[in-house]
């Protein structure tokens, strides 16, 4: 039997606020922190670039490292889905599709590291 995962409705969450900032090889990312009840919090980092967009001359080649960015990248939205045939109802409910679809979504329990930690490396 298959399973599925979905984020809880925003209305059912106690609080949403910025996550801690994390230094990666390509720049600093910031997601958002969810209070999921029972004194538990989770940091979500959505849409972190995994590789350069596989378009034009990069199509059908191995993934290339993503470009570095300046400042803090807000990682608060899922990246686009890979192009594929959909059932009719999926066209109405799922996010946009693009060949530029190489993004990571990282969910982590909240903790206080003693040192800087890289989540992509």
CA quadruple 33, 35, 39, 40: dihedral sign: negative
Entry field: residues in the chain: 121
Apex 52 CA angle, 46 and 93, nearest 5: 40
Question: 26-66: per-residue pLDDT in tens?
Answer: 999 999 998 888 888 899 999 999 999 988 999 899 999 99
Q: Residue 93 has what DSSP assignment?
A: H
- Give me the pLDDT at residue 3, please: 46
Contact 107, 42 (CB under 8 A): yes
Confidence of residue 82 (pLDDT cuts 50, 70, 90): confident
């Amino acid at each position: 039997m298959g399973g599925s995962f979905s984020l809880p409705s925003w209305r059912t969450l106690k609080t949403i606020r910025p996550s801690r900032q994390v230094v990666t090889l390509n720049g600093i990312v910031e997601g958002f922190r969810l209070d999921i009840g029972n004194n538990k919090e989770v940091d979500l980092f959505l849409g972190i670039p995994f590789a350069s967009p596989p378009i034009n001359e990069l199509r059908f080649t191995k993934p290339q490292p993503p470009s570095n960015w300046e400042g803090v990248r807000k990682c608060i939205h899922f990246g686009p889905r890979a192009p594929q045939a959909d059932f009719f109802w999926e066209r109405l409910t799922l996010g946009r599709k693009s060949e530029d679809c190489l993004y990571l979504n990282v969910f982590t329990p909240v903790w206080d590291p003693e040192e800087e930690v890289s989540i992509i490396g």
